[in-house]
Amino acid sequence: MSAAVSPELLAIIVCPDCKGELTLSEVPDLTCGGCGLVYPVRDGIPVLLVDEARKPA
């Protein structure tokens, strides 16, 4: 997966909305374990903008 987020970066970033832990899915997207918002990853760069996030289903 060429657009993967590095484990080092994933270890230090948090959800900008609730400060919850983010996990990488296979899409690749980042999903917040706290509020459930799903943040896109574009070209390996997490887009941590609440306005760009999708609401949980």
In a domain, 2, yes or no: no
Number of domains in the chain: 1
* CB neighbours of residue 48 within 10 Å: 19
Q: What is the pLDDT of residues 6-49, one digit of tens each?
A: 889 999 999 999 999 999 987 889 999 999 999 999 988 999 99
Residue 56 — very low, low, confident or very high, per pLDDT cuts 50/70/90? confident
Nearest-angstrom CA–CA distance, 20 and 46? 15
**Residues in CB range of 18: below 8 A, 6 or more apart:** 32, 34, 35, 37
In a domain, 32, yes or no: yes
Per-residue confidence (pLDDT) for residue 49, from 0 to 100: 97
Nearest to 36 by CA among 23, 26, 51, 49: 23
Nearest-angstrom CA–CA distance, 44 and 31? 15
In a domain, 1, yes or no: no
Q: Give the range of the structural domain holding residue 40, as residue numbers without chain letter.
A: 7-52
In a domain, 27, yes or no: yes
In a domain, 46, yes or no: yes
CATH of the domain at 20: 2.20.25.10
In a domain, 41, yes or no: yes
